Each structure stands twice: as C-alpha cells, then as structure tokens.
C-alpha cells in the first residue's frame, strides 16, 4: 500500500509539471520558457465579427490568421523575437453594423501599427478607421511615424490611441469615456460616408482616399498635384471639414448616439479654414489669436462653377456653443458685412467663453455657421481665455424681479448686459475707446444694444465711443 501511494504521488507530480511546461512556465529545473507572447485586441468599425487577422513583420506573416469574435476580439501568439520589430496587425473581411445607417456592412480591411518594443504580455491593440489611415500613411506611402501623425492630427484634430478598446457608440455603455470617445470617432467615418452620399460598403475606399489625401500633409482632395479619386470621382477639397461636420452630426444625433457623450464632450473639433457647399466655397481666415472677447473673421465666398468672387452679396453668421455640460448657447455678434468686390465679408463675433483652457481641458465646441443663398457651412474655432491682464469683456446683471427680466428655460432670470472692448486707438491722454454692448434674451438670442440701452439690429449703433 505504501509503494502504491508513493507511486501515485510521483505520477501526479509529473502530470502537474507537464501541464506547467505546456503553459509556457519555467521551473527551477531549467525548463525553457515559451517562445511566444499572446497579444489581444479588437477590430472595430463598430465590432467586426468573423474577420481574419494576421500579424506581419514587414511583408511576412508571423502569426495568424485567426477569426474575430462577435465583439471583434482576437488573440495572436507573437514570436518573442518579432516583438523587437515594428508590427502590423491586419484584418480582412467580416461584418459589422454601420453606425450611420444601422445596417449590416461588410468590412474590407482595417489595420494598426505597433511600434518596435511596444508590445508585451498583457498588451492589447485595436484596429480602427483612424489607425488604418495611419498604417497606410506609414507602410504604403512611406511616411515616418512622426510625419504620419502630424498629418493626421492636422486634419482631424486628434491622435488615435491603439491601446484603447472602442465601444459601440450606438448602444448605452458604462465604459470609461476614452473608450466611448474612440467609438464615437469611429462612427464619424461611417457618418462621413453617409454625408458624402456614398454606400456603407465604401468604408475601405474612403480610408484609402483619406490616407492618399494626407500624404502631402493636407486633406484637400489632392496628393501633391494629383487629384485623389474616391469611387470614380475626385475627392472633395474640404475632406477635413467634412470629417469635422460628420463628427458633429453623429454626436448631435440623439437617435444614433447612445454613448452618453454630447457634442461638447467629443474632444476639440478641429478648425479647418475651407468648407464647400453645393455651389459655393467658403474660406474663413481667423484672427491671429481667438480669445474670449472680440474676434474678427474674414470670410471669402467664391462660385464653385468658375472660381469667381461672390461680390456685393449678404452672408449670415450664427455662432453656437455646445457645452460639455450638455446645453448650448449662442454669443453676441455683429454679423457679417456684405461681401466686397473680391468676395470677402468681415464677420465679427464677441465670444462669451473659451472652448479650451490652457491646461488642455475642453469646455465644449464653438460652431460658426455661415449661410449664403440658403447654403450653409460650419467652422469650429478654438477659443482661448484672454491673455494676461487684458479685460476683454464685462458683465452687468440686474435682478430677476426687475421689469426687464427675461424668461429662460421656463424661469424668470435677471437680464445680463455684456460690455466688450471693441477697439482702442490713439495715444496716451488722447485715446478713443469703443465698446460693443449686447444683452441676452435667451440661450440663442444676444441682441446688440445702443448706448441708451435700446436693442438694435446688427451694425446699427451698438458700438459706443469714449474719449479718454
């Protein structure tokens, strides 16, 4: 009996030892460690199921293929020797639910680059539309990592973090905000397809075109002197602005966007100076610094048909702030002058608040909507706090019981009056100081007032001049 018991213990110990070796563990007896490291991740456009994923070291496949799960997940055993090199994870095929249409779509190719020595046990990496554009810029078009990232950020206003696993923005989730934001940004590419009048199946073609467009550093429909093609036609000259608008459209659509992130919480939407409507091109030149207070813009409007100036015509401007807190409001403004002979209008806004702080915190997104001949475009300026000791605006408030109190959001509120520095000219002892005065009639109404407190129309006496 004793011999049998000892023998059974020896067999059990041998079995445990064999199991540990099979799991890649090492032991004090010198058993070799595993030669591979498992790297997990996902393929997302949203969740791409049944895609085939491989890992590549240059042109060589070093792991895979494996199929993605229902939530786009995969795990690949990467040879340890290859972790020292730049790797590309490439996914082809599979299906996902297009966020803009709610319909099933077939995925073409999504990919992501992992830098040399950036992956280890426990690492995760996620292939998204954004990471795919970066990969194409680097591996297909030969840009360095720094140049590819600079071009991408200049066009889209952010850099993707491939270690963050996106979640489907069309479904409510308790995931952290970084994962929700990654999901919203991925959805913006589907929204862009819809806005451009393309089919959901053109997703890969769109990413190819955007990468080619960015090779020269600018998303303007051109790769150097060559027009970028997208589904048989030339790509738009305002692709960066189109993406910004797609991001705003999706974030602002309560029926589609269930992420819990509103338009003021999707990061600072990138300002791009050109936007094109059906018949007109709008080019907006901002002031040197756009701070809380007065901001004077030059808006050039030209005809798409022949590039001629839209001269001596009216243009309307509507500013709107989408707050991270969830509400929105406008700001005082003097509107736009008529265009001159060169098609240029002067448009002046008086910003109430910043959209971004010096710390990098985002307070929301300003949207400047311009309309001519019933065609509208949008620009998203970055507005900072006033610099130094400069007092750019003052606010005077009455009392909610005053006769001139206003009703906002169903409640009586004190009327606010805003005093903005319009200009200071002259020399010491002989300055001419001009102020712009406005009041507030609601969250979207900030009419100018004249020096006697009466409301006036734009450019009709709202500037008060003092001699000091």
Question: How does pLDDT run along the chain (468 residues), one tens digit per residue?
Answer: 434 343 334 333 433 333 333 333 333 344 556 899 999 999 999 999 999 999 999 889 999 899 999 999 999 999 999 999 999 999 999 999 999 999 999 999 999 999 999 999 888 999 999 999 999 999 999 999 999 999 999 999 999 999 999 999 999 999 999 999 999 999 999 999 999 999 999 999 999 999 999 999 999 999 999 999 998 788 999 999 999 999 999 999 999 999 999 999 999 999 999 999 999 999 999 999 899 999 999 999 999 999 999 999 999 999 999 999 889 999 999 999 999 999 999 999 999 999 999 888 999 999 999 999 999 999 999 999 887 666 677 888 877 666 566 666 666 777 888 888 888 887 777 778 888 888 888 788 888 886 554 554 444 445 665 555
Which residue in the block uniquely carries the two structure tokens 């960015």? 214
Distance between CA atoms of residues 254 and 243, nearest Å: 19
| 405 burial type by CB count under 10 A (0-12 exposed, 13-18 middle, 19+ buried) | middle
Distance between CA atoms of residues 190 and 110, nearest Å: 14
Distance between CA atoms of residues 42 and 420, nearest Å: 51
pLDDT of residue 429: 75
Distance between CA atoms of residues 63 and 40, nearest Å: 12
- The total of other beta-carbon atoms located within 10 Å of residue 138's CB is 19
pLDDT of residue 452: 52
Which residue in the block uniquely carries the two structure tokens 């979207």? 444
In whole angstroms, how far apart are CA 465 and each of 294, 450, 468?
A: 16, 11, 10
pLDDT of residue 23: 35
pLDDT of residue 467: 53
pLDDT of residue 403: 59
| Encoded tokens for 368 | 């400047």
Asked if 303 and 310 touch (Cβ cutoff 8 Å), the reply is yes
pLDDT of residue 11: 35
Which residue in the block uniquely carries the two structure tokens 């338009």? 263
**Rounded to two decimals, what is the model's pTM?**
0.86
Asked if 13 and 27 touch (Cβ cutoff 8 Å), the reply is no
| 155 burial type by CB count under 10 A (0-12 exposed, 13-18 middle, 19+ buried) | buried
- The total of other beta-carbon atoms located within 10 Å of residue 73's CB is 20
Q: Which has the closest alpha carbon to 330: 366, 304, 360, 354?
A: 366
């Amino acid at each position: 009996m004793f011999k049998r018991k000892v023998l059974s213990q020896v067999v059990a110990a041998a079995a445990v030892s064999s199991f540990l070796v099979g799991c890649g563990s090492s032991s004090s007896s010198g058993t070799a460690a595993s030669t591979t490291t498992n790297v997990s991740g996902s393929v997302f456009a949203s969740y791409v199921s049944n895609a085939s994923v491989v890992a590549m070291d240059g042109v060589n496949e070093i792991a895979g293929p494996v199929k993605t799960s229902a939530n786009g997940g995969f795990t690949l055993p990467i040879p340890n020797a290859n972790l020292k090199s730049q790797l590309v994870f490439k996914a082809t095929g599979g299906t996902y639910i297009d966020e803009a249409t709610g319909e099933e779509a077939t995925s073409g190719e999504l990919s992501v680059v992992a830098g040399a020595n950036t992956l280890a046990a426990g690492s995760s990496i996620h292939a998204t539309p954004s990471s795919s554009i970066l990969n194409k810029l680097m591996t297909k078009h030969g840009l360095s990592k720094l140049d590819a990232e600079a071009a991408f950020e200049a066009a889209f206003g952010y850099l993707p973090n491939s270690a963050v696993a996106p979640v489907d923005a069309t479904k409510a989730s308790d995931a952290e905000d970084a994962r929700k934001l990654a999901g919203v940004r991925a959805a913006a590419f589907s929204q862009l397809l819809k806005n451009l009048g393309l089919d959901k199946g053109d997703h890969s073609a769109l990413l190819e075109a955007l990468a080619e467009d960015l090779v020269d550093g600018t998303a303007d429909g051109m790769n150097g002197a060559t027009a970028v093609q997208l589904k048989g036609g030339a790509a738009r000259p305002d692709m960066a602005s189109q993406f910004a608008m797609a991001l705003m459209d999706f974030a602002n659509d309560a029926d589609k966007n269930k992420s819990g992130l509103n338009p003021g919480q999707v990061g600072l939407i990138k300002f791009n100076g050109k936007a094109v409507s059906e018949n007109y091109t709008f080019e907006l030149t901002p002031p040197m610094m756009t701070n809380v207070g007065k901001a004077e813009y030059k808006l050039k409007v030209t005809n798409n048909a022949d590039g001629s100036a839209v001269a001596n015509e009216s243009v309307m401007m509507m500013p709107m702030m989408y707050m991270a807190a969830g509400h929105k409001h406008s700001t005082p403004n003097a509107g736009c002058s008529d265009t001159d002979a060169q098609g240029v209008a002067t448009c002046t806004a008086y910003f109430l608040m910043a959209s971004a702080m010096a710390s990098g915190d985002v307070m929301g997104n300003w949207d400047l909507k311009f309309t001519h001949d019933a065609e509208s475009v949008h620009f998203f300026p970055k507005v900072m706090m006033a610099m130094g000791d400069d007092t750019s605006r003052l606010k005077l408030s009455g009392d909610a019981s005053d006769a001139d109190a206003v009703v906002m959001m169903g409640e009586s509120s004190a009327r606010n009056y805003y005093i903005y520095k319009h200009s200071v000219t002259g020399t010491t002892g002989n300055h001419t100081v001009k102020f712009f005065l406005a009041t507030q009639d609601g969250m979207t109404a900030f009419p100018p007032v004249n020096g006697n407190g009466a409301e006036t129309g734009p450019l009709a006496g709202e500037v008060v001049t003092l001699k000091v």
